[in-house]
Structure 1
């Protein structure tokens, strides 16, 4: 009898502790709300003292400001909203509709709570002696602290089930560390008081606790067992990245050697071509194209060329890669396409930096609209990155998709580099041969990775590929139709 009561007792203890934690978070937030709303002097004094002290400590060190700003961006809407949307889309691809609804509802709730409470309280931002950052809107509670607590917390609850048991503590600890650093960065930048951040954390913890409990009730009403919080929200959900994939690369040391040799040969070819363009081949015809394009400059075309150039900068290429890789993993349940894209971009940036430093070709002798650039002209990094990312995506998609829309990615692999190349030459940053150098870099490097990495994955059975690689139904051990 005692053994039969033990699971019930553990469940009751966990329920009571969870309830008390939610109540404590709610009461803590309510207390801070009242103290701030009615201007309790001791709290205001502590808030202002901490804000002044951190401002003096951080503002004197530009590197500290940059680090705090970078960490703060992890809690901004520009990061959190795309992160949630990407997770929801990946769950929908895996047909995990209940988890997708949970993320959507919880995220929308946080979006509503933040501006509503800021308008209700109406607290102004800290005023410090040496401002290093500026925040928009009111101060209480911190939207970054609230949003990061909700987003990283709910993502940890959803994806905890795919983490091995021995790593789950580290996984949750990493999410907690990110949330803590974001909150501290907001205080260090002088855009929030300590009480703003504490209130954001407490409100965020209470909100995800309430929605997680509602999710458990939903499962119970659907006749599903109620798992331990340590198992995640839905342990049986089919969200493992690649459940049936074996080794990503057979003979990894041999493959690594082949990739390294390909990198060295590609660099050598780029250096030889760059040396010829810089020291042997006359540059007159090469300079004529940027000069000719300069004659068409107007404010409207300047803006369009800026947009085209931004489509190939580091932020845009990184964003495209970060969106495509998780979706590819959700579709095809293989790490090999992701590895192919990641190695393509890592090789591109290293080849570009090394060859640009070795060749050291000057920019075209025209007025550059982007001002002084830190790297030399050959090869074009913007064009090379654009070719690599879109060509890699097109190769992955066309090799695994049989629908007509796969040709859209082939079109993007042609159109996007063309737009970026014209924009960069129009803005006076590159010669035509710099674009050809970028194309040479992309062609050689992608060929190396295709034969060493991606080609190994083309021996899958046709029945397992279908129109798009059909997801595996682990309950019956067969593939389902697409």
Structure 2
């Protein structure tokens, strides 16, 4: 069993952490370009933020506040822990159940280091949310919600009932889009901030799920979909 766990850990480093370092490097490189050679493009981006700020209303301020909070660290962690516990209870497969946790952990590590290295200022409009200590680029809210809910979409293939599988998929794809719009509307990020944040979350979810698929195949658990324990 110890040998199996060591192999799981080595594969995690090779298939998720290693590629994550490459993703971090690319994100930082693009961030430096936005704050350097592409600074003119960065200023032009703020037209979107100013247009959205000019269309604000009390109703949409309230709605987007809720959407924005869905990407808050405490919400993302809470949902992840709850769903991970349910998955482990239903499947007894700890590799499968850890996918969301790995996805958001990898995303958060890339985001925090990149944001502190790049240090991009937030858009020059009024901010409707408290500004966290990290910089504007990339968006942590969008990255975290994308990593979490896309990992749910990938795992939802194990749900037996088609109507439930599709319902979960649609809702989980919708949440990151709502968070993205809210963060733009509330003046917290530029368009490239949320785009790179979403890409970061997407790639981290795929890396986490790819690690699981590889380890499951190695263990002979996923040779066919019918052999995998189903979620109902």
**Fold similarity call, TM over 0.5:** yes
1:401 maps onto 2:159 in alignment: yes
* Structure-1 residue corresponding to 2:137: 378
Q: 1:414, 1:442 → 2: CA distance? A: 12
Q: Return the offset for 1:277.
A: 1.7
Tell me the C-alpha RMSD between the 2 structures.
2.1
1:264 maps onto 2:27 in alignment: no
Compared CA separation, residues 432 and 375, structure 1 to 2 (3 A): same
Compared CA separation, residues 371 and 313, structure 1 to 2 (3 A): closer
* Structure 2 gap segments, 5+ residues each: none
* Structure-1 residue corresponding to 2:122: 363
* Structure-1 residue corresponding to 2:146: 387
* Structure-2 residue corresponding to 1:252: 9
Instruction: Describe the superposition over 1:154-175 as per-residue Cα deviations: whole angstroms up to 9, x where unpaired.
Output: xxxxxxxxxxxxxxxxxxxxxx
Q: Return the offset for 1:248.
A: 5.8
Q: 1:250, 1:348 → 2: CA distance? A: 22
Is the Cα–Cα contact under 8 Å of residues 345 and 388 in structure 1 kept in the other structure?
A: yes
* Structure 1 gap segments, 5+ residues each: 1-245, 470-481
| Residues matched between the structures, number | 223
Map residues 28-427 of structure 1 onto 2, 5 A cutoff.
247=4, 250=7, 252-281=9-38, 282-398=41-157, 400-404=158-162, 405-427=164-186
* Structure-2 residue corresponding to 1:437: 196
Larger of the two Rg values belongs to structure: 1
Instruction: Describe the superposition over 1:237-295 as per-residue Cα deviations: whole angstroms up to 9, x where unpaired.
Output: xxxxxxxxx94674532442443311210100111121122212222331111100001
What TM-score do you get using the length of structure 1 for normalisation?
0.44
* SS of alignment partner, residue 89 of structure 2: helix
Compared CA separation, residues 317 and 361, structure 1 to 2 (3 A): same
Q: 1:324, 1:299 → 2: CA distance? A: 33
Q: Return the offset for 1:329.
A: 0.8
* Structure-2 residue corresponding to 1:74: none
Is the Cα–Cα contact under 8 Å of residues 104 and 204 in structure 2 kept in the other structure?
A: no
Correspondent of 2:214 among 455, 458, 465: 455
Q: Which has the higher contact order (CA 8 A, sep 6+)?
A: 2
Q: Return the offset for 1:436.
A: 0.6
Q: 1:294, 1:360 → 2: CA distance? A: 23
